Structure 1
Amino acid sequence: MARAGSMFGVLLLALCLASPLAAQPSERAARERLDAIGEEIQGLSRRLSSTRQARDAADRQLREVETALAETHRRLDTLQAERRELGDRIAALETRRDALQAERADQLEALDAQLDALYRLGLTPQLKLLLNQDDPARLDRLQHYLNHLAKARNERLDALARLDSALADNRRELEARGTRLDALAEELAGRSAELARRMAERSELVAELDSRYTTEQARLADLNQDRAHAERVLREVQEELARLERPPPSTAIEQTQGELPWPVQGSVASRFRRGDGVHRNGMLIQAAEGTPVKAVHAGRVVFADWMRGFGNLLIVDHGDQVMTLHAHLQHFGVEVGQAVSRGDTLGAVGASGGHDTPALYFEVRRGGEPIDPQSWIASR
């Protein structure tokens, strides 16, 4: 589902302006380069798979459950979107059906009027024409009227045939859409039941993980281990990106410092250097579960997987050695290697990683080092 998004719009525009006559080959070459970058990034993510191992059986189980939950949420979102689209289409079809039926009724009424006029002339108006030759002008008018009546009647009959055909098509499509809607409702019910089961399983696992801590110090020590593990992974991501044969071009993110939009609207639960464990290097924004998380700037997804402490973690590289991290996602809306534009939906707010409160953890890194996200996003 990779898209050649607007993150490299400046590059493509420059290529086009530099050589108007060769705009199409230049644009094609740029797109091929971006596709190659996407493939390299996908390979990077595969090479980092060994760094995504959990510490023990409980963590591994949590990862499995939360990964399954993310897929269930993603599928539910897809099904809900399809159901809404089907509902809209069915409503449009019903409106069209009503219009066709009203038009058919009008045509029938007009045809009845024509037949009534013909009936008033008698069963054999042509014979009357032959017998009434005493008034040639009247004869000519009557013949003209009969011809007009016959033509109008044939047109009405043709229109009715077309309307009947359109109504039949409309009924068939409505039946097909209705059948699909029933199937969607059945799958939604199944997925919802699966979601409830998985959430109960997750709650048990989180309780099991929490029971390991006898003191607050033990919990903080574990959180700091998670942060140290994440730092190692992020360094590897940065190093791998630096070694790419085709490094991602600049997206001019440096020029937007202090003007970037918030990835999600909500209350700030912890700020840069004030949070615990994995939250220390960024900010934690509380928001309702399922709230869309938006890309703050154009870039390319370089990581989208579960990581202990972070849960579902998504990293976007913006070029110029700047990356943004989005953690505790309910599910992912994009894939590794995919180009994203400012405002694109990356996923949804969740509580993955064993957390009990839905929130988005957001972090900005430059040259591999964390920097205060609030120095980059717009004040509010």
Structure 2
Amino acid sequence: MASPRRLPRGAGRLTVALLALCLAAPLAAQPSERAARERLDAIGSEIQGVSRRLTTTREAQAEASQGLRRVETALAETHRRLDLLQEEREELGDEIVTLERRRDLLEAERADQVEALNIQLDALYRLGQSPQLKLLLNQDDPARLDRLQHYLNHLSRARNARLDELARLDTALGETRRELDARGERLDALATELAARSSDLAEQMRERAALVADLDSRYASEQVRLTELEQDRAHAERVLRQVQEELARLERPPPSTAIEQTRGDLPWPVQGSVASRFRAGDGVHRNGILIQAAEGTPVRAVHAGRVVFADWMRGFGNLLIIDHGDQVMTLHAHLQQFGVQVGQAVSRGDVLGAVGNSGGHQRPALYFEVRRGGDPIDPQSWIATR
């Protein structure tokens, strides 16, 4: 796996100092749960702000590494937008099917009304012109006169009702046809935008491939590559440990989600083969497990919690961190895109993002890590045995 070059000396200390500064403000004597959550959100926002500022320094990263961050961030947004467009297209397709069924029903109902009206008009025609006058002239049977008059009144009311119903059906049909036209125009616009986004995606993927090849070519040997990966891991360790320490210092820590009670029974974040196990991987993969899965496969939360980080980080690519309370966090790296944002509460099974290969990784996979009290522990001791 290719990886960006190391951060400048002192970058980790800068991250720690900024985090400490952000969280050193005194809390109220008895802060509310809302205040604790806002402080938790501030941690994630500050971490991401520091990460972005570090990448803009002159010596922070090589030009190719800066480009990798830029293009992978753009790729994540393109994938996200494509998914949204596809969802909208599917919803519109369902709406069009519903509208077409409604139109067919209205047209069939209108045809029935027209047929019934024709029957009524035919009955009136058979009575001839001026049937009321004929009835008045026909005085030989008053009972028959009353029955015919009643029949004529009934036909008249029925005819007027049919005409009113036809007018209502015509209005409804007109509205349905206009809605169908509008949906059709929106579908055409979506198709155009999808084509443009797909073209952007192809170009961004070509650019990413060139950047990864450039980064790979800069490693003089396998040992240099491993050294760079270890530096990425060490940088991440400092940042993640500081996050955990500051969370532990909160007067009212994040609420418990009882994750300890589910140990050994948590679901897998994604189904796939384990490419590297705890303490067996290189660099940033050493403290967790790497699960190979098809690109775009949904990644799901293994337990309830709150998103405290969702951004690109050296070595990890698109990294998402969830705090579950009780000093337990889960990390999800190499994501293709994010499905949630910082501060958002998630429940077990919620989609967090999609499997990708961000961070310069060669193959699509999910890196999954569990930390308790800031220390990495074997994720497979927490998730259910398959």
TM-score relative to the length of structure 2: 0.88
Q: Say which SS state the counterpart of residue 183 (structure 1) adopts.
A: helix
Match of 2:157 in 1: 151
Report the CA distance between 1:248 and its aligned residue: 1.3
Match of 1:136 among 117, 142, 156: 142
Residue 50 of structure 2 corresponds to 50
Q: Which amino acid aligns with 2:291?
A: I
Pair 1:239 & 2:245 matched? yes
How far apart in 1 are the matches of 2:253 and 2:310?
A: 19
- How many residues of Structure 1 are paired with residues of Structure 2 in the alignment? 349
1:337 aligns with 2:335: no
Change (3 A) 1:37 1:151: farther
Q: Give the SS at the match of 1:301.
A: strand
- Of residues 160, 164, 168 in structure 2, which corresponds to 1:162? 168
Structure 1 Cα separation of the partners of residues 225 and 135 of structure 2: 107
Name whichever of 49-58 and 143-152 sits farther off.
Answer: 49-58
Offset, 1:212 = 1.1
Distance 1:36 1:334, change over 3 A: farther
The Cα shift of 1:51 comes to 3.8
What value does the CA root-mean-square deviation take over the aligned residues? 1.5
Matched, 1:99 2:98: no
In the TM superposition, 1:297-312 aligns within 5 A as 297-312=303-318
Going from structure 1 to structure 2, the CA distance change for 1:295 and 1:174 (only over 3 Å counts) comes to same
Q: Secondary structure at the match of 1:93?
A: helix
Give 1:83's aligned residue: 89
Provide, for residues 96-141 of structure 1, a one-character-per-residue CA deviation record: whole Å limited to 9, x for no partner: 1111111111111111111111111112110111011211221111
Q: Greater shift after overlay, 46-55 or 288-297?
A: 46-55
Q: 1:373 is matched with which residue?
A: 379
Q: Could you tell me whether the CA contact under 8 Å between 1:282 and 1:371 is conserved in 2?
A: yes
Equivalent residue for 2:13? none
Partner SS, residue 325 of structure 1: strand
**Counterpart of 2:76?**
70
In the alignment, which residue of structure 2 is the partner of 1:280? 286
- Does the 8 A contact of 1:285 with 1:361 survive in 2? yes
Distance 1:35 1:68, change over 3 A: farther
What is aligned with 1:354? 360
For 1:62 and 1:187, the matched residues in 2 are separated by 25
Deviation at residue 79 of structure 1 after TM alignment: 0.7
What letter corresponds to residue 195 of structure 1 in structure 2? L
Structure 2 distance, partners of 1:208, 1:154, is: 80
Alignment check: 8 A CA contact 1:51 1:233 kept = no
Counterpart of 2:40 in structure 1 is: 41
Deviation at 1:246, TM superposition (A): 4.3
Unaligned segments of structure 1, at least 5 residues: 1-31
Deviation at 1:45, TM superposition (A): 2.3
Higher mean Cα deviation, 86-95 or 53-62? 53-62
Paired position in structure 2 for 1:191? 197
Distance in 2 (CA, whole Å) between partners of 1:33 and 1:113 is 75
SS at match of 1:260: coil
Superposed CA deviations along residues 10-56 of structure 1, whole A, max 9, x for unmatched, are xxxxxxxxxxxxxxxxxxxxxx9565444323321232222453532
- Find the aligned partners of 2:172 and 2:321 in 1 and give their Cα distance: 51
Aligned twin of 1:23: none
Per the TM alignment, residue 188 of structure 1 is displaced from its structure 2 partner at its CA by 1.0
Q: For residue 156 of structure 2, give the secondary structure of its aligned residue in structure 1.
A: helix
* One-letter identity of the residue aligned with 2:39: E
Letter of the 2:253 counterpart = P
Question: 8 Å contact 1:291–1:348 — kept in the other structure?
Answer: yes
Q: Distance in 2 between matches of 1:330 and 1:271?
A: 21
d(CA) in 2 for partners of 1:242 and 1:179?
A: 54
Match of 2:7 in 1: none
Quick one: distance in 2 between partners of 1:346 and 1:209?
29
Aligned CA distance change for structure 1 residues 135 and 96 (closer, same or farther; 3 Å):
same
Structure 2 CA distance for aligned equivalents of residues 304 and 236 of structure 1:
17
Cα distance between partner residues in 2 of 1:246 and 1:124: 91
Q: Distance in 2 between matches of 1:39 and 1:146?
A: 77
Whether 2:108 is the aligned partner of 1:108: answer no
Q: Conserved in 2, the CA contact under 8 Å of 1:41 and 1:336? A: no
Q: Does the Cα contact within 8 Å between 2:332 and 2:369 map onto a contact in 1?
A: yes
Write out per-residue CA displacement over residues 148-171 of structure 1, whole angstroms, 9 at most, x where no aligned residue.
111111111111111111111111
Change (3 A) 1:156 1:265: same
Asked if the contact 1:37/1:337 (under 8 Å) is kept, the reply is no
- Tell me, yes or no, if the aligned pair for 2:40 and 2:254 is still in contact at 8 Å: no
Which residue of 231, 254, 258 maps to 1:252? 258
Aligned-partner Cα distance in 2 for 1:193–1:245: 50
Structure 2 portions without partners, runs of 5+ = 1-30, 56-60
Q: CA 1:74–1:244 in 2, change beyond 3 Å: closer, same or farther?
A: farther
Distance in 2 (alpha carbons) for counterparts of 1:65 and 1:33: 41
Residue pair 2:241, 2:375 contacting (<8 A) in 1 also: no
Find the counterpart in structure 2 of residue 211 from structure 1. 217
| Structure 1 runs, 4 residues or longer, greater than 6 Å off | none
Percent same amino acid at aligned positions?
77
Query: Aligned-pair distance for 1:265?
Result: 0.7
